[in-house]
Amino acid sequence: MEKLRKAVNEIAYGKDQAKLSPLHRSLVPALSVASALYNLALSLRRSLYHSGLFRRRRLPIPVISVGNLTWGGNGKTPMVEFLALWLADSGISPLVLNRGYAGGDEARMLQRHLLGRPVKIGVGANRAATATSFIEKCGYVDPSKVSERLWVDSKGPSHFGSEKIGVAILDDGMQHWGLQRDIEIVMINGLMLWGNCHLLPLGPLREPLNALRRADVVVLHHADLISEQRLKDIELMLRDVKESLTIFFTKMAPSHFFDVRNFNSKKPLEALCNTIVLCVSAIGSADAFVLGIKKLGAVYVDQLEFSDHHSFQSMDMEMIKERLGELEKKFGSKPIVVVTEKDYDRDIDILRHLDPFEVLALCSEFKIIPYKENTEDSFKQLLKEILQDKLQGRNLYKHVNHNH
């Protein structure tokens, strides 16, 4: 199954089918049929929502959706964490709605990072039902008061009380049409974009590119790993889809490591200087992870890449150990294994089976890269303005309906 997933991924991100191997080309007809069926199902589902036969739920609190057009590696979870911290620091208790896909590694990482903050994390495929359950249990803040609070400059604990929910953050929400949202943030992996531009499973697209027209904000992730000219080309490409798009650039800035055997350990980035490193990952954008590690001064960086959300098994550990043995024999020193936090949170015990090799998890901080007039402050300002406009529209709608 892992080999098949890798083959499908290589087809999806290979723009020239003539360069595919015979094995890969043999898969294309079946993937094309599946892609056409997926497109048909997508169109049917969209029409059912537009006609009103499928109802979109409206929560009594503002909803910020963080989504993407392609599978994995777009920076959705770091953006969700960034928003949750910003709201919590503004005195608003957010509810993160996570679908809990593939064992819930992302939800566990969020829980660990946001521990001690007035942030609630609801896990479940039916995000509307999860949100309703939390709101009934904790209560919610009047949206107009949330809007007022966002314009207060001083940071500090919420005067609403940490139990009451002020805003819902819909994690991986772009294709979750069953829940209405007030802000649509679309994340894009700048390193990989849309591959061959086909829909799943022939390509990486969950929806056609014109779905970007629904976005209030587009965020190009891993922008620090892309040339200036390429950034300009991507910006022009996005404006061809929607000229008025506001585009922000973001990156993951490595901060430190911790040993997977001891979460409380903290090692500086310099720990990799003059070492041999094996990057092991099962994430959406392994290239960005490896490129980041290569900047930290290792003598040699090798990698073993698994499909996104892959659950490591004993046989995987044996394969990793075998690669480590080869590297040790080649370079005459013990290599260090480096994984991402997401890999660590998927199974905190399995990686300890790599003894006697040292296994470090890389911790990184999500940052907005200043570009032209777009900065972290202007990003927050824009979200405030959109939210205020949407909430005013809600109040006007209520007032008109009430009078009728």
321-351: pLDDT as tens digits: 999 999 999 999 999 999 999 999 999 999 9
For β-strands 359-369 and 336-340, DSSP reports them as: parallel
CB 88 within 8 A of CB 148: no
Q: 168's torsion region: left (phi>0), alpha (psi -120 to 50) or beta?
A: beta
Question: What's the rounded Cα separation, in Å, for the pair 12 and 157?
Answer: 46
Q: Distance (Å, rounded) from C-alpha 171 to C-alpha 380? A: 18
The pLDDT of residue 145 is 84
pLDDT digits (tens, 9 = 90+) for 202-226: 999 999 999 999 999 999 999 999 9
**Sign of the CA dihedral with 71 first, then 170, 348, and 86 last:** positive
pLDDT tens digits for range 165-190: 999 999 999 999 999 999 999 999 99
Q: What is the pLDDT of residue 155?
A: 55
What single-letter amino acid sits at 82? F
Which tokens belong to 356? 């006697």
Integer Cα distance of 93 and 85 in angstroms: 9
Structure token pair of residue 344: 């660590």
Helix (H, G, I), strand (E, B) or coil at 3: helix
Nearest by Cα to 242 from 205, 207, 194, 210? 210
Q: Determine the CATH number of domain 253-366.
A: 3.40.50
Whether the domain at 63-244+372-401 and the domain at 253-366 fall into the same CATH topology: yes
Task: Count Cβ atoms below 10 Å from residue 265 Cβ, excluding itself.
Answer: 13
User: DSSP class of residue 260?
Assistant: T
CB count within 10 Å of CB 401 equals 8
Residue ranges of domains in the chain: 1-51, 63-244+372-401, 253-366
- The residues, any chain, with a CB within 8 Å of residue 318's CB and separated by 6 or more, are none
- What is the secondary structure of 309-348 as a DSSP string? T----HHHHHHHHHHHHHHHHHHSS--EEEEEHHHHHH-T
The answer for residues whose C-beta is within 8 angstroms of residue 312's C-beta and 6 or more apart is 282, 306, 343, 346, 347, 350, 351
Q: What is the pLDDT of residue 157?
A: 54
Per the listing, tokens 């799943």 go with 200
Element (H, E) at 379: helix 376-403
Q: Which amino acid is at 123?
A: V
Give the distance between the most distant pair of CA atoms in the chain.
81
Neighbours of 59 (CB within 10 A): 23
Cα 381 to the center of its chain, rounded Å: 22
Q: Provide the angle, in degrees to the nearest 10, between the axes of the packed helices 105-113 and 76-89.
A: 30
- Determine the topology of domain 63-244+372-401 in CATH: Rossmann fold (3.40.50)
Instruction: At 218, list the tokens.
Output: 């587009």
Tokens 């629904």 belong to which residue?
Answer: 214
Token pair belonging to 233: 């080309």
Q: What is the pLDDT of residue 398?
A: 54
Query: CA-based Rg of the chain, rounded to a whole angstrom?
Result: 22
The token pair at 247 is 């585009």
Residue-level pLDDT at 7: 87
| Predicted TM-score of the model (pTM) | 0.94
- In order along its 404 residues, the chain shows pLDDT tens digits of 778 888 888 899 886 777 788 888 899 999 999 999 999 999 999 999 999 999 999 999 999 999 999 987 899 999 999 999 999 999 999 999 999 876 688 999 999 999 999 999 999 999 999 999 999 999 999 998 887 888 775 455 555 556 899 999 999 999 999 999 999 999 999 999 999 999 999 999 999 999 999 999 999 999 999 999 999 999 999 999 999 999 999 999 999 999 999 989 999 999 999 999 999 999 988 999 999 999 999 999 999 999 888 999 999 999 999 999 999 999 999 999 999 999 999 999 999 999 999 999 999 999 999 998 999 999 999 999 999 988 886 764 454 444 44
